[in-house]
Structure 1
Amino acid sequence: MVGYRIERQVAVLEVAQPPLNGLTRAVRAALMEAIDRAEEDDAADAIVLIGAGGTFPAGTDVTEYDRGLQEPFLRDLCDRVEYSEKPVVAALNGTVFGGGLELALAAHYRVAHAGTRFGLPEIHLGLPPAGGGSQRLPRLVGAAQALDMLGSGRVIGAGEAAGARLTDLRTEGDVRQAALDFCDTLRMGGTGPRRLGENVAGASDPAAFHAAIAEARAALSGDRDSLQAQIVMLVEAAALLPFEAGCALEAEIFNDCLASDRARALRHVYLAERRAAQGAPDAGPEVQAIAVLGSGGLAVQLVARALMQGLAVIWAARDGQALETAQGRMRALLATGARDTAAVEALCAGLSLATCKDAAAQAGPGAVLITERGYDDLPWPEGALRLPAYTDAVQGVGLRFVPPAHRARLVEVLQGPDASRAAVLRAAQVAQRLGKLPVRVVSDRDTLAGRLNTAMNRAADALIDLGCSPYAIDAALLDWGMPQGVLAARDRRSLVDLARIDLVSGVNWCRALVEAGRMGAAEGGGFYDWKDGTPVPSESVLTLFDAQRPPRGRPPENIRTLILGAMANEGLHLLAEGRAVRASDLDVVSIHALNLPREQGGVMKAVSLRGLFGVMRQMERLGHPDTAFWTPHPEWGRLVKNGLDFDAL
């Protein structure tokens, strides 16, 4: 776990905890013991901290936050390193993130390989640093860079100016040998420990330091309770308070945040995404090339995405003229952002065109993404992985991309009745090679996103049936953090098709609007009046609706709870049917496909945080005639009876 070896009068402490050398409780304890040993070892006059397997410790064990932190805490380890009587040199390579970077900051000196990447991503978990990083970092690099790193979680490279400020030496060679050479230099110069806790070099220009603080505080727009505001306060404390007092403030804020619903939700999402991403182990050789069949919008987006991911792409379509047009659209897509013509052409060097017949064979051990109908009659080489990505039923394996496919992160891997486990794993690996997050679904057509979205819309219709204003429904969701309301979203995609659906119970409000001449946003009016692309509540719509049911107001939290409850209930049905593998997959899908706010944890976690019993009671008391939809699944009652929540599924 932590190797100990004397090399050139240096105690080399090597953390070996695959895959990322995480600073688990056991690793922290072992490092503490190893530092004690090195200090007492007369054969060593310096200490090097290094990670085995290509990376310095890349962070802490996130699962420990929910299990309960145990001593020695990260701050204990960092203090032990900093107050070592022998100089400690951190030999940095790979990904030095979170607790790993805090450990490196606690070391007296830092030697880094030029390819090392640094980051403090705790902000994405709703947390500040826990090992004194908020106090050591500003003392080293000043307020502006510290605020940027702590407040954004941005990853920086050792070769950048910001990365260079974190290190004393960079090397293109073996970082272990560079660190040992650095120790030789310290020895020859008689140089001992240099502790950031005793250093205020980052605040050597007080005017610049406090100007950065003032700018960051002004950007908060009066929000003094957010984590961002607390990070500003911590960075300011690095210049105003003694080191120990600043670290005590950091610990207090960390403990408060750790127990918050927001941090619990963000940790849940992080772990849920990690579980989903682990779906393609041992799926064969890494995908290097794919074939794409088709010339429509999905094909254009997938070709662009594959090229951006460094894949070789073989593109074919039956209509040569359409394919030529599609290439121009694909280049325009690649040109968005900061790419110039040369950069676009460099990416397109990985593209080749082929006949439809040859495309699958040329993809080799990769896959063939079929983006539209009309390619089923092609001769498929033995072992070719055919992945239909359009909406027809699949017998084997299919992929369903969240639009726009070149940007959105999620893809659902549909496992049809004839799919083999090997093909499913290979499809997930293809998705990952495209930079996507794959979620497995046991289905020949239905997607998790589609089922959850239908439940969300069905719940909204039921609330309108019971007198709720459509604008109150959307406002409740917008205030919660969704980028758009469910009814405004209907307007944007047109109400005409939705008007044809016969509902099990209640009024088809889309049909009522279409019959009144309101087709959606493109025609100027649906649930909303649309002015220059902006939805505006319509008095005529309220008059139309109120003529069919008496208006009745509802508190925003009640609206949110009922919609989330209905979606979670549908999630329980998906789990019971065996379509969803785990409840946390439903959270991932609801965030990445339906835009539920990440800091709420996804649909199942949001209901768990509200309390299953209370949400269930609100659904049972709603009184809507669509009782089959609103009746909680039996599993819901079982969980309540046993004091559990959806995390148990």
Structure 2
Amino acid sequence: MAQFTRISGSVGLITLKNPPVNALSAVVRHGIVDTVQRALSDPQVKSLVICGQNGIFCGGADIKEFGTNITGPPLIPMIHSIEAANKPVVAAIEGSAFGGGLELALGCHYRIAHSKAKLGLTEVTLGLLPAAGGSQRLPRLIGVPAALNLITTGRHITAAEALQLGVVDQVADHNTVDAAVKFALSVAGQSLDARRISNIQCPPVPDVDALFEDVMQKVRQTARGAIAPVACVQAVRAAATLPYTQGMQREQELMATLFTSGQARSLQYCFFAQRVVGRWSMPSGARWDTTKSRPINKAAVIGLGTMGRGITVALAQTGLSVVAVETHEKQFIEAKQAVSGMLERGAKRRGTAPPHDKITYSQNLQAVADVDLVIEAVFEDMALKKKVFRQLSAICKPNAFLCSNTSTLNVDEIASETRHPELVVGMHFFAPAHVMKLLEVVYGQRSSPEAVAVAMQLGKKMGKVSVAVGNCRGFVGNRMLKPYRDQAYFLLEEGATPELIDAALEEFGFAMGAFKVYDLSGLDVGWRVRKEEGLVQPGGASRIRQGHRYSPLGDLLCEQGRFGQKTGRGWYQYDKPGSRDARPDPWLHGFLEEYRARHGLVARRISSNEVLERCLYAMINEGFRILEDGIAAGPEDIDIIYVFGYGWPRHRGGPMFYANMVGLQIVQERLEHYAQAHPDVPTLQPCSLLRRLVASGCPPINKWREVIKKVHSQL
């Protein structure tokens, strides 16, 4: 709804009321239309101020109404009527003005923002474009280049940047509504012709064709198959080259194409899935999100390698006191310098002072005796981690939470070394830990809801998307990555090249293909893990391990000292160690030919489609097994993990949503086809949950949990 009051004698104050973000639902739009009409017809009202309840202006369209039969006053005529008003209308922007909220503000004649407000046309992140005039008004207001940047990225800007760009007219440090009312009183009676953005022309662009050609090329490159950013460029081009009414028509045509697209459905699914993973209960029935989380004031990080440094920075940036412990002298000195540099760069980006004073460094484990929570980030070795947890259990306070930044190891086995296993959880960060958004919180059999709640809340405080997962080898993300990686190797054996496989995956939307990722992270990392599992045989003599097909190709490269970018050679060659410019390596192609000849393998032509089906469907099949095993609470958890931690293209919705879009029956049939062709690869056999879902008529993804519950009840 929208509430109307008259204040300061002649200012009509319209307050949007639709918690939590005052979204433009049908009821709110009705309220705006009614109250604006009432204010304009009231002779005592000389100017209007539009604000939002509870310190938030407006979060945009009500996404819950998308695809429903709920109707209300259309947004475009409503904004036009505000812009056409014969009395000044001032938007008082507090909190946020995103999407349709900013479009509403652009329809007002003036905009006053609180200094801490955030603004943005964020529609592109939902697979859409600003279709209530935003793509036409913003370029007219701030110029084409600046508008293109904001609209194609959907990025949030601060009030200070909005003022600099000309999006807002004034920034208030205190009560924005008071400042807007004062401003409204000062402009009452003034001409509004120059304040109606739709009436003005876009600032001229020297060579409009060259500009848009250049921008389109860059956007296509970064969008990696997403269609919304491309449509945004086309809409802004209409603003720059057409009269307003024709530009609006073009905006609507483009929006009509996007609105019903699979990509928009995928992106909107991701939006809701991110909220679903925050409401979760443990198998015991206890809910971590309703469990009281004990406050954490002081934390410690053990081990200051790459991961430990990033975790230390992430903790310090939240304002926590951090004890950073590294027992090796050389690494200790390097880590202090590296963390300091990371803090400086982060502070510069945010325009704040670096929180150096929050970190205390020590080479002695005893320094963690009084902390509330410890995150262990030592080398991924079970014996070493167990030793550290034995020491922590003896040194720390009895009620301190002990967390392991492990990516694959058994959390229960680690917890068994402590006096209070209920206080132990895994906190699997992703590198670089101060940048990557995902955090897998791994609960063991004895982890308490309180321990899970503390880890999840701490992740949220660090700005992470935290997902609670069960304990198994590799948890969710890395467990699903294994069959994906195996298929990539098998395809090499059968005739593919790293370039062919990576090109197919990048065309699908991944930022980097599988082999470029391995070169980036270092081939020796996986080699070390495979050695510990007893899978590595010198010379890669056998292609069978533990009764199943195994490709020793990665092991053989490591034996040659080819560890990827760090050595200048891996699956690709690089100009020098550390370079990121991957180039095809003739030596590697010869190596593959020799390997195939040695094992009697005949190379065949492999299509991009086979690469995608085998790599992605094998991964998806493992996702169904994870749901069947109760390691993830629902498909949304898996999808959010893959979108935020593994580079899955967001416009494809996540692996489980993608399976739903392709059709579960098709996924099952293709897996059966490949399982028949490769009987020595059991991960290609469709899992029983997938078969159950297909037998149940392939229900939509939001109904899968009902089938999963039935599976669990029968276990």
TM-score (norm 1): 0.88
1:304 is aligned to 313
Q: How does 1:273-284 map to 2 (within 5 A)?
A: 273-277=274-278, 281=289, 283-284=292-293
1:108-145 deviations in Å (ceiling 9; x for gaps):
22222233222112222232102111111122222222
Matched, 1:331 2:340: yes
Match of 1:118 in 2: 119
Residue 323 (structure 1) shift: 3.6
SS state of the match for residue 256, structure 1? helix
SS in 2 for 1:160: helix
Q: 1 CA distance for matches of 2:589 and 2:142?
A: 54
Shift of 1:190: 4.9
Question: Of 586, 589, 592, which residue of structure 2 is paired with 1:541?
Answer: 592
Q: Does the C-alpha gap of structure 1 residues 308 and 92 become closer, same or farther in structure 2, counting only changes over 3 Å?
A: same
Other-structure match for 1:371 = 377
Between 369-378 and 511-520, the greater mean CA deviation after superposition: 511-520
Question: Given the alignment, which residue of 581, 586, 596 partners 2:633?
Answer: 581
Does residue 1:315 correspond to 2:324, yes or no?
yes
Indicate conservation of the 8 Å contact 1:527/1:541, yes or no. no
Secondary structure at the counterpart of residue 291 of structure 1? strand
**Equivalent residues of 1:292, 1:315 under 8 A apart:** yes
**Partner in structure 1 of residue 500 of structure 2:** 472
SS in 2 for 1:4: strand
1:85–1:193 CA contact under 8 A, matched in 2: no
435, 438, 449: which one pairs with 1:410?
A: 438
Structure 1 residue aligned with 2:213: 217
> For 1:411-490, what aligned pairs fall within 5 Å after superposition?
411-443=439-471, 446-464=474-492, 468-469=496-497, 471-490=499-518
Taking structure 1 as reference, are residues 311 and 165 closer, same or farther at Cα in structure 2, changes over 3 Å only? same
1:473 to partner: Cα distance: 2.6
When residues 275 and 452 of structure 1 are mapped into structure 2, their CA distance, relative to the original with a 3 A threshold, is same
Number of equivalenced pairs? 639
Could you tell me how far apart the structure 1 residues matched to 2:57 and 2:304 are?
45
The 2-side partners of 1:542 and 1:563 are apart by: 22
**Alpha-carbon distance in 2 for matches of 1:596, 1:349:** 37
Among 693, 699, 704, the alignment partner of 1:644 is 699
Indicate if the aligned counterparts of 1:564 and 1:607 stay in contact, CA closer than 8 A.
no
Q: Does 1:293 align with 2:302?
A: yes
Q: Which amino acid aligns with 1:637?
A: R
Question: For 1:400 and 1:174, how far apart are their aligned partners in 2?
Answer: 42
Gaps of 5+ in 1: none
Alpha-carbon distance in structure 2 between the residues aligned to 1:496 and 1:126: 39
* Partner residue, 1:620: 672
Matched, 1:384 2:439: no
* 1:596-635 per-position Cα deviation (integer Å, ceiling 9, x unaligned): 2233222112222222222221111122113642222233
Write the distance in 1 (CA, Å) between the matches of 2:125 and 2:697: 32
1:493 is aligned, of 498, 504, 523, to 523
Q: 1:402 to 1:548 in 2, by over 3 A?
A: farther
CA distance in 2, matches of 1:305, 1:453: 26
- The worse-fitting range, judged by mean Cα deviation, of 59-68 and 116-125 is 59-68
Match of 2:421 in 1: none
Which residue identity is paired with 2:266? A
Q: Distance in 2 between matches of 1:633 and 1:190?
A: 70
1:631 pairs with 2:639: no
Report the alpha carbon displacement of residue 19 of structure 1 after superposing the two structures with TM: 2.0
Q: Structure 1's 285 and 81: CA in aligned 2 closer, same or farther, altered over 3 A?
A: farther
Indicate conservation of the 8 Å contact 2:672/2:684, yes or no.
Answer: yes
Alignment of 1:557-596 (within 5 A): 557-596=609-648
- Any conservation in 2 of the 1:331–1:344 contact (CA below 8 Å)? no
Alpha-carbon distance in structure 2 between the residues aligned to 1:164 and 1:540 = 56
Residue 405 of structure 1 aligns to a residue whose secondary structure is coil
Change (3 A) 1:561 1:390: closer
Preserved contact between residue 4 and residue 14 of structure 2 (Cα < 8 Å): yes
The SS at the match of 1:386 is: strand
One-letter amino acid matched to 1:297 = T
CA deviation after TM superposition for structure 1 residue 231, in Å:
2.9
Q: Which amino acid aligns with 2:649?
A: P
Q: 1:36: how far off?
A: 3.0
Structure 1 residues 113 and 474, CA, compared in 2 at 3 Å: closer, same or farther?
closer
Inter-partner Cα distance in structure 1 for 2:546 and 2:571:
18
The equivalent position to 1:513 in structure 2, one of 556, 580, 584, is 556
Deviation (angstroms), 1:427: 0.5
Distance 1:150 1:104 in 2: 16
Q: Secondary structure at the match of 1:290?
A: strand
Distance in 1 separating the partners of 2:67 and 2:299:
41
Q: Does the 8 Å contact 2:429/2:439 carry over to 1?
A: yes
Shift of 1:441: 0.3
Contact 2:368/2:396 (CA < 8 Å) preserved in 1? no
Q: Given that residues 23 and 99 in structure 1 are in contact (C-alpha distance below 8 angstroms), is that contact kept between their aligned partners in structure 2? A: yes
> What is the CA-CA distance between 1:96 and the residue it aligns to?
1.2
Return closer, same or farther for 1:289/1:80 CA change in 2, 3 Å cut-off: farther
Structure 1 residues 323 and 101: alpha-carbon distance in aligned structure 2, compared to 1, 3 A threshold: same
Structure 1: which amino acid aligns with 2:17? Answer: A
Distance 1:557 1:61, change over 3 A: farther
Distance 2:215 2:233 in 1: 11
After superposing the two structures, state which structure 1 stretch, 139-148 or 498-507, moved more: 498-507
Work out the CA distance in 2 between the residues paired with 1:292 and 1:414: 18
Identical-pair percentage: 27
User: Offset of 1:574 from its aligned partner?
Assistant: 0.5
Deviations 1:467-510 (A, max 9, x none): 55554333321332323332454453137444752254324233
2: distance between equivalents of 1:545 and 1:526? Answer: 18
Whether the 8 Å contact between 1:335 and 1:344 is mirrored in structure 2 is no
Instruction: Tell me, in whole angstroms, the C-alpha distance in 1 between the residues paired with 2:332 and 2:554.
Output: 38
Q: Which amino acid aligns with 1:509?
A: P
Instruction: Tell me how far apart the structure 2 counterparts of residues 185 and 344 of structure 1 sit (CA, whole Å).
Output: 35
Which runs of no fewer than 5 residues in structure 2 stay unpaired?
Answer: 281-287, 379-384, 416-423, 536-544, 705-715
Contact map agreement 2:347 2:353 (CA 8 A) in 1: no
Cα distance in structure 2, aligned partners of 1:129 and 1:579: 39
Alignment correspondent of 1:605: 657
Distance 1:230 1:593 in 2: 27
Distance 1:639 1:314, change over 3 A: same
The separation in 1 between residues aligned to 2:113 and 2:403, in whole angstroms, is 43
Q: State the shift of 1:162 in Å.
A: 4.8
Counterpart of 1:230? 231
CA positional deviation for 1:448: 0.8
Change (3 A) 1:634 1:25: farther
Q: Which amino acid aligns with 1:493?
A: L
Instruction: From the superposition, tell whether residues 321 and 141 of structure 1 become closer, same or farther in structure 2 (CA, over 3 Å).
Output: closer
Question: Equivalents in 2 of 1:358, 1:540: separation in Å?
Answer: 51
Distance, in Å, in 2 between the alignment partners of 1:217 and 1:162 is: 29
| Aligned equivalents of 2:701, 2:492: Cα separation in 1 | 28
- Does structure 1 residue 147 correspond to structure 2 residue 148? yes
